[in-house]
Homo-oligomer: A and B are copies of this chain.
Amino acid sequence: MRIAVTGASGFIGRAVLTELARRGISAVASSRSGIGFPLGSAHKSVVLDIHENAADAYERLGRPETVIHLAWSGLPHYHSLHHFETELPVQYRFLKSLIVSGTQNLIVAGTCFEYGLQSGPLSEDLPTQPANAYGFAKDALRRELEFLKTSQPFALTWARLFYLYGEGQASTSLLAQLRQAVARGEKTFNMSGGEQLRDYLAVEEAARLLVSLALARCDAGIVNVCSGRPISVRRLVEGWIRDNGWAIDLNLGYYPYPDYEPMAFWGDRRKLDSILEGQ
């Protein structure tokens, strides 16, 4: 099976390439500005910006049967109109061109922000109610691909990602900020109240799940990619500090809770588990 990975130089993309190599699978690794790290012999690097509207994108990606599509620009500015003014039409055009050219199996990164301000365990059959432009644009892209499927059949797995953490994450992420504070020798770490319940997954585990979904070729539709277990942000951060042997105190309540997220939500993992069991 010929596999391509877009957004391959990103936080999740690098973990997916590592996971593919671990399984002995070679892929074409595509990114906007080249892969800035050693790929090893397993993969082939390709420079491709989906905003270019290249007519030969499918060829340059090695005529892939399966595409794990992670590319998305404009993050972490969740409220920017960029996500639907620019990114949505570009993303749809790019993915449609791959499908029309011959790609049969598409795994696309979705986001828990598609659910919007809904609380508790979130299952894939809930109506989406995105509350920011990023969540809206992802949700709209998924619906557009579902409409496209009715005239141009292909297998679609919409991997709705919850919160991830790990090495090499964007400097705005919680773990990266904590790491920077420790490196600066700070005694306290300013954060929110920390009581909010979230669903966190190590990026290596998310990559393992994404690759399993890609190999399943099961046209699964929406699948939550999550731990299925709520954890308070406070406990999560305390765990990172303990596991790393860091010495830093938490200044809880320094920042307000974000207004675009509910206090408690996590993924319902039953659909994901049933797909993985079937393998």
Say if the beta carbon of A158 comes within 8 Å of chain B: no
Say if the beta carbon of A210 comes within 8 Å of chain B: no
8 Å CB contacts to B: which residues of A86-145? 89, 92, 127, 129, 133, 136, 140, 143-144
Contacting pair B89 A147 (CB below 8 A): no
Say if the beta carbon of A85 comes within 8 Å of chain B: yes
Q: How many copies does the complex hold?
A: 2
Contacting pair A148 B92 (CB below 8 A): no
Contacting pair A79 B150 (CB below 8 A): yes
Partner of A92, one of B85, B92, B133, B143: B85
CA distance A79 to B127 in the complex (A): 21
Min Cβ gap A76→B in Å is: 17
Partner of A151, one of B81, B89, B150: B81
Contacting pair A81 B148 (CB below 8 A): yes
Chain A interface residue count, CB cutoff 8 Å, equals 17
Given contacts A127-B127, A127-B129, contact A147 B151 (CB under 8 A): no
CA distance A77 to B148 in the complex (A): 15
Partner of A144, one of B84, B127, B147, B148: B84
Given contacts A89-B89, A148-B81, contact A136 B127 (CB under 8 A): no
What are 12 A-B pairs with beta-carbon distances under 8 A?
A: A79-B150, A81-B151, A84-B140, A84-B144, A84-B147, A85-B144, A127-B127, A127-B129, A133-B147, A136-B143, A136-B144, A140-B140
Q: A84-B92, A127-B129 are in contact. List 11 more A-B contacts (CB 8 A).
A: A81-B148, A84-B144, A84-B147, A85-B92, A89-B89, A127-B127, A133-B147, A136-B143, A136-B144, A140-B140, A140-B143
List chain A positions with a Cβ less than 8 A from chain B: 79, 81, 84-85, 89, 92, 127, 129, 133, 136, 140, 143-144, 147-148, 150-151
